[in-house]
Amino acid sequence: AKSKGHNRIDIFDPMMLQQVRDRLHLEVELRQAIDQGDFALYYQPIINLRSQSPRGFEALVRWQKEDTLISPTVFIPVAEETGLIFELSRWVLRSACEQLQQWQKRYPKLRSLGFTVSINLSANQFSLPTLVAEIEQALEHHHLAGQFLKIEITESTLMHHLDSACEILTKLKAMGVRINIDDFGTGYSSLSYLRNLPLDGIKIDRSFISQMDRSQEDLELVRTILVLARNLHLDCIAEGIESTTQLQLLRSLRCPFGQGYLFAPPLTADKAEVYLQKHIL
């Protein structure tokens, strides 16, 4: 028979205990941060590689914890596992729309240029029945046409939600919202979704771009992805361009768009506005 003493959980590894504590702590703090709104959206320009002019921003979230900025790679996974991602994403969506509305008011030219803001969607959001309605409401509330908003989703998100993805993307597309596949090349290799889903473009993952000036294989992969995108009439954005060598190679391969530290890092809203004034207005 079991004695009482055997029902307790033994944690033998003090490191593990520490990890559990850190994790719980992070979760509690993240909850608080959401309640207090301790987040900021940063904006990274997406550049037309031929004209060198920016054609949009990607909104990237940061956690402003006292004096430090915490990277989304640290807290997005925790937010996803705890369900806090829904509230956080709602905040991201509204803030991005509000910011774009303000910029469109101040700089009407942004509208005629078709300047867009892209937001990242997490896989969890695809199981949220209200996703499309939330996006629609955010657009309406800020008097924004759907064409100015872009959604970035990863291949694995698509593959995990193949049933709902098609319906959701079709509805978004009908609202004018454009859809890009993020981190292209790193997920599943099934390519049939590229022709079956209403997609607008793909973003070539940084891992291919970062090695393309050193690795013949990566260069060939990038070339192949670009040919594929062109044949399927998809937009193509190269992520993580850091050097002029990479830029020259991408230009020679006729890659239409790019993003990376070579042009600008993710910027605070204020700095992003200065960037707009300098580069397009």
- Interface ranges with ligand C2E (CB under 6 A): 44, 60-61, 71-73, 76, 89, 92, 120, 122, 152, 182-183, 206, 240-242, 259-261, 266
Q: Is 183 in the site for Ca ion (CB under 5 A)?
A: yes
Window 105-144: contact mask with Ca ion (x via CB under 5 A): ---------------x------------------------
Residue 187 DSSP label: S
Q: Report, in Å, the least distance between residue 61 CB and Ca ion.
A: 11
Question: What is the nearest approach in angstroms of ligand C2E to the Cβ of residue 280?
Answer: 20
The least distance separating ligand C2E from the CB of residue 199, rounded to whole angstroms, comes to 16
Q: For Ca ion, which residue of 97, 152, 225, 237 counts as binding (CB under 5 A)?
A: 152
CB of 154 to ligand C2E, least distance (A): 7
Residue closer to ligand C2E (CB basis): 155 or 182: 182
Bridge-partner residues for 56, per DSSP?
A: 46, 116
Is the torsion defined by CA of 84, 85, 87, 91 positive or negative? Answer: positive
**What are the CB-based long-range contacts (under 8 Å, 24+) for 275-280?**
275/45, 275/54, 276/54, 276/103, 276/107, 276/110, 277/107, 279/45, 279/53, 279/54, 280/53, 280/54, 280/109, 280/110, 280/113, 280/115
- Using CB under 5 A as the binding rule, whether residue 155 contacts Ca ion is answered as no
Q: Which residues, other chains included, contact 239 with Cβ-Cβ below 8 Å and sequence gap of 6+?
A: 183, 203, 204, 205, 206, 209, 258, 259, 260
**Which residues in this chain contact Ca ion in the complex, by CB under 5 A?**
120, 152, 182-183, 239
